Structure 1
Amino acid sequence: MANAKYVSVHGGHSGEFCHHAKDQLEKIILSYINHGFSWVGITEHVPGFSQELLYPDQQEAGFTPEFLLERFDRYMQKCKQLQVKYADQIKIYAAMEIETYTDYDSFIPALITRFKPDYIVGSVHYVDDLGFDYSKQQYDNTAEAIGGYDELYCRYFDIQYNMIKTLQPAVVGHFDLIRIFDEDYPTRLMKPEIMKRIVRNLELIKELDLIMDFNLRSLLKGATEPYISGPILKIAREMDIAVVPGDDSHGLANIQINMDQAIATLAEYGFSTNWQQPKVITYE
């Protein structure tokens, strides 16, 4: 563990290209370098493709899908420029974090074809086109619309399974994000109808040899453990799935925070800290 290198398989959101982040992307890259990271995936959010699917803060700011697409274009150009500029100091992946709302199975491949990211992070922030991670009120409203918290979890993991099967993302982002505002998640995760979906999804991740993001952002928000929670992490280890730290940084203040704790936890569970790197998409 003492020799484990700092890496982030899911990070680098910047105020330059993400409304709920801070700071300039180049300064964030320099911070990763200064903290001794050997490689980092810069995984900016893809743009929403309809006004209804924008986050509340994006709507309040007056953003449009057209603006977000143009900004994402600038992000990919800038990230690839920095990738070359700092190639002798750090390995940078110019990647993107996806969404799973209606028609994502055609929208995301179109973005991949257009922007040619190094890899994608497969995340779920919407259940049946309803957001759940913006606020506790939004979470509760979405759970009520879906039919309750148990059904919310089931739908989340079903959507996640279909996303993994359809897109085969190199990295599965914050696997159990659905617990974000649920104080009862340790009990709920163990419910048979939920746990069987978790195991099913983990089996697919193993079959496809994907990486799971050990996402540290929850710790910054007062949670007691990262995404992935302990019981799921144990199963992932038993299946010999690669789990790699992701700081999910949203500004300079987040970089390297809790990374030593993450490395220690993964080593304690028996994961290799010779970190597996994401499979890079090949293009003709």
Structure 2
Amino acid sequence: MPFSFHTHSGEFCNHASGRLEEVILRAIELKFDTIGLTEHVPRFEQEFLYPEESELKPSDLATKFEAYYKKANELKLKYKGKINILIGAELEYINEDHCNQLHSYLSKFNFDYLMGSLHHVNNIPIDFDQQTFSLALKSYNNDMEALSLQYFEDQFNLIKKFHPKVIGHFDLIRLFASQDYQLSSDIKEKIDRNIRYIVEYGGLFEINTRSLKKSLPYPYPQPDILKMILELGGKVTLSDDSHGAKDVGMHYDKVLDYLSLMGIDKVYYLVNSENQVKVEEFKGFENWFNNKFK
């Protein structure tokens, strides 16, 4: 029975659909062992809101996030015994000031885990659409190398600050990049540093299948980076990055092929044991995928 540690709902995320409870019910229907809930943390400045949030204020995002935390705890109790629910949050790194503000803000919550993701570079979203990505690229004089170096530098700052248990879509910077995008030696050096740091503190690298919905050839991270992760001793987990009930288990029929291609025979997940979240190997995942998604 699989799991996902990266999920959203339209109840608390403007670019998702449906209610949070519907996501959980779909996971139960698919006989998931565990589901991690990870609505986005709020952003604190109006300039950092997405176009879809133009009618909102930063305080609205905070109110919605706090409502999510309350609802998630209610649902965790309601479905106890039917599915293991871990309550998390997907982090943002926009700049150092935002990072410090976020660190202080999150201290009033008691999350089971944090998902470490990056969606902005130079204060500009890189995954909203091609046009917005182009603005981020233009801010670096259309130098993809410079944009990528900053992305992985910001990622390092994020993981140093929060030590997130799961690293979200490690190479999201590739989403709107040109098809001939290559990792230079300087980019690889930063990636190597980031991977080593995550491995040292015990974080998991998600294999995120949402990229397949976005027309990338493989789940995040793409093979060149996943190969580096594996060579450096990184442990992988699975996420569908669902944005509504219809996405739960999305493209999990393809993920086993990717694991096989990369020579991966172990996947890991988070277990809440005695009020402490631990990383454990997930046994027998191949049989589950063969029976349910093939």
Q: TM-score, normalised by structure 1?
A: 0.91
Q: Distance in 2 between matches of 1:274 and 1:226?
A: 15
Where does residue 17 of structure 2 map in the other structure?
A: 22
- Asked if 1:50 is matched to 2:45, the reply is yes
Amino acid at match of 1:21: A
- Amino acid corresponding to residue 224 of structure 1 in structure 2: P
Q: State how 1:248-259 maps to structure 2 within 5 Å.
A: 248-259=241-252
The residue identity in structure 2 corresponding to 1:25 is L
1:142 corresponding residue in structure 2? 136
Aligned to 2:234: 241
What residue is the counterpart of 2:5 in the other structure? 9
- How many angstroms does 1:107 deviate by? 2.0
Matches within 5 A, 1:174-253: 174-184=169-179, 187-189=181-183, 191-253=184-246
* Partner secondary structure for residue 37 of structure 1: coil
When residues 181 and 279 of structure 1 are mapped into structure 2, their CA distance, relative to the original with a 3 A threshold, is farther
CA shift digits 1:58-77 (9 cap, x unpaired)? 11xx0111111111111000
Instruction: After TM superposition, give the deviation of residue 279 of structure 1 in Å.
Output: 8.1
Call closer, same or farther: CA 1:279–1:214 in 2, change over 3 Å: farther
Spell out structure 1 runs of 4+ moving beyond 3 A. Answer: 278-282
Q: 1:237 to 1:87 in 2, by over 3 A?
A: same
Structure 1: gaps spanning 5 or more residues:
none
Unpaired runs of at least 5, structure 2: 277-294
Residues 1:239 and 1:201: Cα distance change in structure 2 (over 3 Å)? same
* Pair 30,165 (structure 1): closer, same or farther in 2 beyond 3 Å: same
The CA deviation at 1:110 is 2.1
The Cα shift of 1:47 comes to 1.1
The reply on whether 1:264 has 2:257 as its aligned counterpart is: yes
TM superposition score normalised by structure 2: 0.88
User: Are residues 1:80 and 2:76 paired?
Assistant: no
Distance 1:170 1:83 in 2: 19
Q: CA separation in 2, counterparts of 1:170 and 1:279?
A: 13
Q: Within 2, Cα distance between the matches of 1:225 and 1:133?
A: 17
Q: Which is bigger in relative contact order (C-alpha 8 A, separation at least 6)?
A: 1
